[in-house]
Chains A and B, each alone.
Chain A
Amino acid sequence: MKIKNNIALSDSGFLFNPSTGDSYSVNPIGQEIIRLFQEHKTMDDVVKLITKEYRIDKDTVEKDLYDFQNMLQSYKLSE
């Protein structure tokens, strides 16, 4: 997933879309995932990295990632 270039994400989880003026709050794992997408990591990469770092199984991360991607798309934050 490619996150739009102009999306700004602060360390406290405040996300701003300058194209629309909309703002969002993102929890810490959400921030980490958005940063990984900004680094052009693939879905598989993200799943691997998250399962390595957190106490969670691969299937749960995959399910949550599908949902999170859908939300990013619905908020028009991805290209």
Chain B
Amino acid sequence: MEKKQYERPIIKSLNAGLMNKFGTRTEYAPMTHIDNVAVKDLIREFGSPLFVLSERKIRDNFKTAKRIFETRYPKVQFAWSYKTNYINAICNIFHQEGSWAEVVSRFEYEKALKNGVPGKKILFNGPDKTDDDLRTAIKNDSPIHIDHLDELYRLIELATELKTKPRVAIRVNMDTGVYPMWDRFGFNYENGQAWDAINKIMATDKLNLIGLHCHIGTYMLVPSAYGVAANKMADLALGVKKRYNKVISYIDMGGGFASKNTLKGSMQLGVDYVPEINQYAEAICSTLLNAGFDKDELPYLYLETGRALIDDAGFLLGSVISNKRLSDGRRATIMDFGVNILFTAFWYDHKVSPAQEFGMHTEDSVIYGPLCMNIDVVRENISLPPLKAGDQVVVHYVGAYNITQSMQFIALRPAVVLIDLSGKPHVIKQKESLKDVENNEVMPDYLKKIKL
């Protein structure tokens, strides 16, 4: 007689009617395949843990967002936010789709150039631009988004030195009615700083003010805030036209559209409360169209959407190292991935699915990572089926800000695989080796020998 499938014995106390921080079991259907490729096969071939990205999902997300904005506004240009995920293969998918590059550091700037993005299609953001960075951006004719007065004054000096008129925008921060207000970047709209910067640029005549840029926050859940921001940006652009007879050629609304991830402390799942992209688009586009621009002077709308285009295209595959029981009776499951590679676990309750079939019974659990540190908690409260050592899981919504923020702390970072449109997996980043980690270390001669 064939033996039956084993599942760990579990007993769970029933507390009908009471609030339960573990929630109901609604999201734990097994995920055995990603784009028709078996999770089991991916882990067998490329190891565990493993980041997997779906090219199909990325392209679908981009095409959908592009269509949503282009059906509402005639002049739209996306720029891929490198910091969201700057693996070159990923950047090039967005570039193939027509996205420019949006970078916030020299390192990212160089990546964009190496990927073949023309300098004039690289938007250079961020507060940290050295003289050398600015000179390079000026020579490449990249739009430079000025963050502070020191940068503005350096640019005026460099423009004089290089005998050229760099194309610039100023970053504007503003009150859009949401908390916290992001006022650390750029010049404030309400207190007149933005106008001070604009007046300085126009007065010197050394810089070519071509655009206005804002980025009102991250994971914004209120689409109407974008309407407020677009209104203030349009007011500035129209003001520049009125005061200096200068047409602002683009308004860059930045990024910040939320993905469907679930924020920690949220009572509902992200998929239930996160606005759709068309809600953001409606708020922005209708405001700009109704702002009063002349037909021929309607500014381009630039968008630096990152997270909302890639978070759900990324998966982290991992395996159970062990199970244990905590002193209060909760089940603890230790995985082979932790906050070192899943940095967003600090603010999201990631959806975690088993990669194999289980019965209907679940246990209230905590998911820990493998780091020998107390902070290494992937999920504080989660209902999971009875996983055993070696079982595999899929973590969802990890495409944004995890690979770029991953830490090399006591463990080597995993490989990253892209599943192409035909369902073929490609390694787009090799698993790290000890050699990679030690590459830049230097051992002084006197420390080379040890004797124990």
| Minimum distance in angstroms from A40 CB to a CB of chain B | 18
B residues less than 8 Å from A22 (CB atoms): 13-14
Per-position binary interface string of chain B over residues 308-352, scored 1 when its CB falls under 8 Å from any chain A CB and 0 otherwise = 000000000000000101000100000000000000000000000
Judge if B3 is at the interface, Cβ distance under 8 Å: yes
Q: How far is the CB of B16 from chain A (nearest CB, A)?
A: 8
Chain B interface, >50% SS class:
loop
**B436: shortest Cβ distance to chain A, in Å?**
36
Query: Is the Cβ of B359 less than 8 Å from the Cβ of A28?
Result: yes
Interface mask (A42-59 → B, CB under 8 Å = 1, otherwise 0): 000000001011111000
Number of interface residues of A (CB under 8 A): 30
CA distance in complex: A28, B10 (Å): 9
Q: Which of B6, B325, B329, B388 contacts A29 (CB 8 A)?
A: B6
Known contacts A27-B386, A54-B3, A64 near B14 by CB under 8 Å: no
The yes or no answer to B12 lying at the interface (CB within 8 A) is yes
Given contacts A67-B325, A71-B329, contact A25 B5 (CB under 8 A): no
Q: Which of A1-45 contact B (CB under 8 A)?
A: 13, 15, 22-30, 32-33
Sample of 24 A–B contacts (CB below 8 Å): A22-B14, A23-B14, A24-B12, A25-B11, A26-B12, A27-B10, A27-B359, A28-B7, A29-B6, A33-B9, A52-B3, A54-B3, A54-B4, A54-B5, A55-B3, A55-B4, A55-B5, A56-B6, A60-B6, A67-B8, A68-B8, A68-B9, A71-B11, A72-B11
Q: Are A68 and B3 within 8 A (Cβ)?
A: no
Contact in complex: B6, A54 (CB < 8 Å): yes
| A53-B4, A55-B5, A71-B329 given; A30·B359 CB < 8 A | no
Specify which chain A residues have a CB less than 8 angstroms from the CB of B4 in the assembled complex. Answer: 53-55
Looking at the assembled complex, report how far the CB atom of A56 sits from the nearest CB atom of chain B, in whole angstroms. Answer: 4
CB nearest neighbor in B for A55 = B3
Quick one: closest A residue to B361, CB to CB?
Answer: A27
Chain B residues with CB below 8 A from A67, complex form:
8, 323, 325
The smallest C-beta distance from A3 to any residue of chain B, in angstroms, reads 11
CA A25 to CA B363, docked complex, whole Å: 10
* Residues in A whose Cβ lies below 8 Å from that of B329: 71, 74
Q: B162: shortest Cβ distance to chain A, in Å?
A: 70
A15 to B9, CA, bound (A): 14
Q: How far is the CA of A64 from the CA of B389 in the complex (A)?
A: 11
Q: Bound complex: CA of A52 vs CA of B4, how far in Å?
A: 9
- Chain B: which residue is nearest A68 at the CB level? B9
B-binding residues in A (CB < 8 A): 13, 15, 22-30, 32-33, 50, 52-56, 60-61, 64-65, 67-68, 70-72, 74-75
Residues of B within 8 A of A (CB): 3-14, 323, 325, 329, 359, 361, 386, 388
Which residue of chain A has its CB nearest to the CB of B10?
Answer: A27
Is the beta-carbon distance between A68 and B11 smaller than 8 angstroms? Answer: yes
**Residues of chain B with a CB closer than 8 A to A24's CB:** 11-14
With a cutoff of 8 Å between Cβ atoms, the chain B residues found around residue A27 in the complex are: 7, 9-10, 359, 361, 386
Identify the interface centre among A22, A32, A70, A71: most chain B CB within 10 Å of its CB.
Answer: A71
Known A27-B10, A72-B11; further 12 A-B contacts with Cβ < 8 A = A15-B11, A24-B11, A24-B13, A25-B11, A25-B12, A25-B14, A27-B9, A30-B10, A33-B9, A67-B323, A68-B8, A68-B9
Q: A13-B361, A60-B388, A70-B325 are in contact. Are A30 and B11 (CB under 8 A)?
A: yes
Of chain A, the residue at the smallest CB distance from B389 is A60
The residue in chain B whose Cβ has the minimal distance to the Cβ of A29 is B9
Which residue of chain A is the closest to B385 with respect to CB atoms? A27
Shortest distance between the CB of B33 and any CB in chain A (Å): 23
**Closest approach, in angstroms, between the C-beta of B297 and any C-beta of chain A?**
67
A53 to B3, CA, bound (A): 5
Q: Which residues of A contact B12 (CB under 8 A)?
A: 24-26
**B8 pairs with A64, CB closer than 8 A:** yes
Closest residue of chain A to B322 (Cβ to Cβ) is A63
Closest to B2 in A: A55
Shortest CB distance B391–A (Å): 12
Residues of chain A with a CB closer than 8 A to B361's CB: 13, 25-27, 30
> Which 3 A-B residue pairings sit nearest by Cβ, starting from the closest?
A30-B9, A27-B361, A56-B6
Give the docked Cα–Cα distance between A68 and B10 (Å): 7
The answer for the CA separation of A23 and B15 in the assembled complex, in Å, is 8
Is B7's CB under 8 angstroms from A29's CB? yes
Chain A residue contacts of B325, Cβ below 8 A? 67, 70-71
Interface centre among A30, A61, A70 (most CB of B within 10 A): A30
Chain B minimum-CB-distance residue to A32: B9
- Residue of B5, B7, B9 most packed against chain A (CB within 10 A): B9
Q: What is the CA–CA distance of A76 and B315 in the complex, to the nearest angstrom? A: 41
